[in-house]
Amino acid sequence: MFQATLGRNSPYRIYNAIEKARPVLLCNVIRTYISVAERMNDAYTKAHKTLLGKKLPHDVNIKGVFACNELDLREVRVYGFDYDYTLACYKPSMDFLLYNLGRDRLVDKLKYPEGIRELEYQPGFAVRGLHYDVSKGLLLKLDSFLQIQLGSVYRGLTALSDEDVMKLYKSRTIPLAYVESARGGVNKKDASSKMVQLADLFSVPEMSLLCNVLDYFQRHQIDFHPEILFSDVKTSVQNCHPIMHRLVQANVSEYLELNPDIRKLFEQLKNNGKKLFLITNSPYNFVNAGMTLLVGDDWIDHFEVVIVQARKPRFFTDESRPIRMFDTETGVHLWDRVTKLERGKIYCEGTLKQLEAITGWQGKQVLYFGDHPYTDLADVTLEHGWRTGAIVHELSHEIQTLNNDEFKLNCNWLQMLTMLIEDHQEIEDNPMAKNVLDKWIEERDRLRQQTKEVFNPQFGSVFRTYNNPSYFSRRLFRFADIYTAHVTNLLHYSSEHTFFPRRGVMPHEYWSYFM
Q: What is the C-alpha to C-alpha distance for residues 369 and 85, in angstroms, rounded to an integer?
A: 10
Q: What is the pLDDT of residues 75-103, one digit of tens each?
A: 999 999 999 999 999 999 999 999 999 99
Is the confidence at residue 9, as pLDDT, over 80? no
Whether residue 223 sits in one domain with residue 164:
yes
Task: Give phi and psi for 71, each to the nearest 5.
Answer: -140, 115
Q: Confirm if 281 and 241 have CB atoms less than 8 A apart.
A: no
Domain termination residue (choose one: 332, 357, 391): 391
More confident residue, 30 or 7: 30
Q: How far apart, in whole angstroms, are the C-alpha atoms of residue 201 and residue 196?
A: 15
Q: Which of 59, 84, 95, 223 is catalytic?
A: 84
**Burial class, 457, CB count within 10 angstroms (exposed 0-12 / middle 13-18 / buried 19+):** exposed
pLDDT of residue 186: 41
**pLDDT score at 54:** 87
Taking alpha carbons only, the member of 394, 390, 401, 399 closest to residue 490 is: 390
Does residue 58 fall inside a structural domain? Answer: no
- Number of structural domains, the chain? 2
Cis check for the bond before 313: say yes or no (omega within 30 of 0).
Answer: yes
Same domain, 145 and 225: yes
Q: Considering 252, 280, 300, which residue would you say is the last residue of a domain?
A: 252
Give the side-chain half-sphere CA count within 13 A for 7. Answer: 4
Q: Are 141 and 218 within one domain?
A: yes
Asked if 202 and 124 sit in the same domain, the reply is yes
For 172-185, write each residue's pLDDT tens digit: 999 998 988 643 34
d(CA 114, CA 86): 37
What pairs with residue 88 in β-bridges? Answer: 84
DSSP character string of 309-367: S--TTHHHH-SS--EEEEETTTTEE--S---S--TT-EEEE--HHHHHHHH---GGGEE
As a whole number of angstroms, the distance between CA 73 and CA 71 comes to 6
The Cα 460–Cα 449 span in angstroms is: 9
- The predicted pLDDT at position 338 comes to 83
- The one catalytic residue in 82, 95, 200, 232 is 82
Q: Which residue has the higher pLDDT, 396 or 182?
A: 396
Q: At 504, is the pLDDT very low, low, confident or very high (cuts 50, 70, 90)? A: confident
Binned at pLDDT 50, 70 and 90, residue 16 comes out as low
Q: CA-CA distance, 355 to 361, in Å (whole number)?
A: 8
- The pLDDT, as a whole number, for residue 300 is 96
Tell me what the mean pLDDT of segment 221-236 comes to.
Answer: 93
Render pLDDT for 315-351 as a digit per residue (tens, 0 to 9).
999 888 899 998 888 888 888 888 899 999 999 999 9
Q: Is the dihedral of CA 374, 375, 376, 381 positive or negative?
A: positive
Residue 296 located in a structural domain: yes
Do residue 293 and residue 375 come from a single domain? yes
Do 268 and 225 share a structural domain? no
pLDDT confidence of residue 8: 52
d(CA 107, CA 48) in angstroms, rounded, equals: 57
Active-site annotation holds for 223:
no
Q: Is residue 497 part of a domain?
A: no
Give CA 37 to chain center in angstroms: 42
How many percent of the chain have pLDDT more than 70?
90
Is this model's pTM higher than 0.85 or not? Answer: yes
Shared-domain flag, residues 240 and 296: no
Indicate the annotated binding residues.
82, 84, 371
Are 224 and 356 in the same domain? Answer: no
Where do the H-state alpha helices sit in 146-240?
Answer: 162-169, 176-179, 203-219, 226-239
Band the pLDDT of 511: cuts 50, 70, 90.
low
120 and 141 share one domain: yes
Is the Cβ–Cβ distance between 64 and 491 less than 8 Å? no
Confidence at 38, pLDDT banded by 50, 70, 90: confident
d(CA 45, CA 506): 29
Whole-angstrom distance, CA of residue 85 vs CA of residue 502? 27
Q: Is residue 488 part of a domain?
A: no
Tell me the average pLDDT of the chain: 89
Q: What is the distance between the alpha carbons of residues 230 and 468, in angstroms, rounded to a whole number?
A: 28
Whether residues 244 and 265 share a domain: the answer is no
**Domain coverage including residue 213:** 92-182+192-252
CATH number of the domain that residue 290 is part of = 3.40.50.1000
- Range list of β-strands (E), 43-200: 66-67, 71-72, 78-81, 130-133, 138-142, 148-155, 158-159, 195-198
Sign of CA dihedral 344, 347, 353, 357: negative
For range 27-35, the mean pLDDT = 66
Residue 113 near residue 107, CB atoms below 8 Å: yes
Q: Is 402 contained in some domain?
A: no
* Tens-digit pLDDT profile for residues 242-279: 999 999 999 999 999 999 999 999 999 999 999 999 99
Asked if residue 318 belongs to a domain, the reply is: yes
* 83 and 139 assigned to the same domain: no
Each residue's pLDDT tens digit, 413-463: 999 999 999 988 887 778 888 899 999 999 999 999 999 999 999 999 999
Which residues participate in the annotated binding site for GMP? 84
pLDDT (average), residues 472-482: 94
Reported confidence tier of residue 3, pLDDT bands at 50, 70, 90:
very low
Q: What span, in angstroms and rounded, lies between the C-alpha atoms of 327 and 333? A: 6
Q: What is the pLDDT of residue 243?
A: 96
Q: Do residue 233 and residue 342 come from a single domain? A: no
In this predicted structure, the answer to whether residue 52 has a pLDDT above a threshold of 70 is yes
pLDDT for 4 equals: 45
Q: Is residue 210 part of a domain?
A: yes
Angle at 345 between CA 341 and CA 351, to 5 degrees: 45
Is 143 an annotated catalytic residue? no
pLDDT value of residue 23: 56
Binding residue numbers for Mg(2+): 82, 371
436 falls within a domain? no
d(Cα 340, Cα 358) in Å, to the nearest integer? Answer: 6
pLDDT band per the 50, 70, 90 thresholds, residue 495: very high
pLDDT of 189: 45
Q: Give just the sign of the alpha carbon dihedral 63, 298, 355, 183.
A: positive
Of the three residues 335, 363, 391, the one that is the final residue of a domain is 391
